[in-house]
Amino acid sequence: METRIDRIKKQLHAASYKLTPQREATVRILLDHEEDHLSAEDVYLLVKDIAPEIGLATVYRTLELLTELKIVDKINFGDGVSRYDLRQEGAAHFHHHLVCLECGAVDEIQEDLLEDVETVVEKRWNFQIKDHRLTFHGICWRCNDLGADKPEKDA
Amino acid sequence: METRIDRIKKQLHAASYKLTPQREATVRILLDHEEDHLSAEDVYLLVKDIAPEIGLATVYRTLELLTELKIVDKINFGDGVSRYDLRQEGAAHFHHHLVCLECGAVDEIQEDLLEDVETVVEKRWNFQIKDHRLTFHGICWRCNDLGADKPEKDA
DNA sequence: TTATTATTTAGAATCATTCTCAACTGGTAA
DNA sequence: TTACCAGTTGAGAATGATTCTAAATAATAA
């Protein structure tokens, strides 16, 4: 995991920012909670455990910075908060989400799946796609009672 | 256009709500601005022209009600406001959006395009899809300087 | 008519996010 | 070493969107 932080450090330096202790602590929390979809407040509370002096504004600033550098993506599931999600290293596009209307769980789909759709959109709508957001709302495998199974691990 | 309001009225009644003058005024504004993606504040300002006594809270409540009844969809493009978009009558799924990073324009795609992707997701992730949100971020035909043309009218 | 319920209004309250500004940091040049 | 400087931080104030509250009003039922 150390190398991952180092690479992020390089990305910051490349944009002439420093990896301050506060920023490092924030990134560590994000790495430790890659599965989750934390709000700024969530991150703040978790970071306080390893860096108690940190202020909420700094967390917001750091998350904004990381978003700018495309290290994290800011998402919104319709409750009043923004959530922050680490991008897969080297991923060209943002991954997709499955939001369960029953239990509220948010699962991720790392596969692109949209290549064909994007080709159509670029051609027919003359739109040069830079990124996308795709979220499905429905019932997850956990809440689906028809003897549903956990899906195979995501690629 | 009258019939459209009548049908909405029926939908409200079916859920035992009334189409009060304030609600009707709000719906009219939405119908008159189907192309746009108005925020609650936007709607409020427009509604005031035809129903000056209306309060902002009522507009919020009405939009919430319409969202609940799936007459409109609430969307969020990452600026701090929720926007409200009339659903096509009879549309099973919400339509997609193209957000231009250059000029901020938001265009709509009414075609589904996701049938195949949804089939895969339902099968592989064991997820029963009820609805979706798909937004592309990029450069629109207006800002695309490579002699780009307006795309043919959406189906 | 009277009782009951749904709806509205205005303004207060809430909550997430951003801003302000004084204090602090680490590095650099003298 | 010392003085400086740009970048960064923390605390709390400010902002802005949204929701809540309480009293008034309108619609409905008995």
Given B36, B71, B90, the domain boundary residue is: B90
Q: Residue A33 CA to nucleotide D25 C1', Å?
A: 52
Cα separation, B148 vs B142, whole angstroms = 7
The whole-number pLDDT of residue B155 equals 43
Q: Give the structural domain span for B30.
A: 1-90
Same-domain check for residues A59 and A96: no
Partner-chain contact B126 A151, CB within 8 Å: yes
SS3 of residue A14 by DSSP: helix
The whole-number pLDDT of residue A1 equals 54
The whole-number pLDDT of residue B97 equals 97
Chain B interface mutation, best of A64, A119, A134, A154, highest count of B Cβ atoms under 10 Å: A134
Same-domain check for residues B9 and B69: yes
Q: How confident is the model at residue B92 (pLDDT cuts 50, 70, 90)?
A: confident
The answer, for A137 touching chain B at a CB cutoff of 8 Å, is yes
Over chain B, what HEC string results? CHHHHHHHHHHHHHCCCCCCHHHHHHHHHHHHCCCCCEEHHHHHHHHHHHCCCCCHHHHHHHHHHHHHCCCEEEEECCCCCEEEEECCCCCCCCCEEEEECCCCCEEEECCCCCHHHHHHHHHHCCCEEEEEEEEEEEECCCCCCCCCCCCCCCC
Partner-chain contact B134 A132, CB within 8 Å: yes
Location of structure tokens 């035909």? B141
CA distance B13 to chain A (A): 25
Nucleotides of D under 7 A from a protein CB: 7-13, 16-21, 27-28
Residues A94-108: pLDDT tens digits? 999 999 999 999 999
Q: How confident is the model at residue B153 (pLDDT cuts 50, 70, 90)?
A: low
Same-domain check for residues A72 and A4: yes
User: What region does B154 belong to: left with phi over 0, alpha with psi -120 to 50, or beta?
Assistant: beta
Same-domain check for residues B85 and B128: no
Number of domains in chain B: 2
Same-domain check for residues A81 and A107: no
Chain A interface mutation, best of B116, B136, B150, highest count of A Cβ atoms under 10 Å: B136
Residues B94-104: pLDDT tens digits? 999 999 999 99
Same-domain check for residues A3 and A74: yes
Same-domain check for residues B13 and B83: yes
How many helices and strands (H and E) does chain A possess? 5, 6
The whole-number pLDDT of residue A153 equals 57
The whole-number pLDDT of residue A2 equals 65
Location of structure tokens 């390893």? A50
**CATH code, domain carrying B134:** 3.30.1490.190
Given A57, A89, A121, the domain boundary residue is: A89
**CATH code, domain carrying A53:** 1.10.10.10
Residue range A26-35: mean pLDDT, rounded: 97
CB A99 within 8 A of CB A137: yes
Q: Is the CB of A151 under 7 A from strand D?
A: no
Residue A45 pLDDT more than 70?
Answer: yes
Nucleotides of C under 7 A from a protein CB: 6-12, 15-20
Same-domain check for residues B129 and B84: no
Same-domain check for residues B34 and B84: yes
Residues B33-75: pLDDT tens digits? 999 999 999 999 999 999 999 999 999 999 999 999 999 999 9
The answer, for A116 touching chain B at a CB cutoff of 8 Å, is yes
Residues A47-98: pLDDT tens digits? 999 999 999 999 999 999 999 999 999 999 999 999 999 999 888 789 999 9
Residues B108-142: pLDDT tens digits? 999 999 999 999 999 999 999 999 999 999 999 99
Residue B1 pLDDT more than 60?
Answer: no
The whole-number pLDDT of residue A132 equals 96
Same-domain check for residues B4 and B71: yes
Same-domain check for residues B72 and B107: no
Q: Which residues of A touch B152 (CB under 8 A)?
A: 124
Same-domain check for residues A1 and A32: yes
State the average pLDDT for chain A: 92
Nearest to B84 by CA among B12, B131, B34: B34
Given B54, B74, B90, the domain boundary residue is: B90
The answer, for B135 touching chain A at a CB cutoff of 8 Å, is yes
Of the candidates B135, B138, B151, the beta carbon closest to that of A124 is on B151
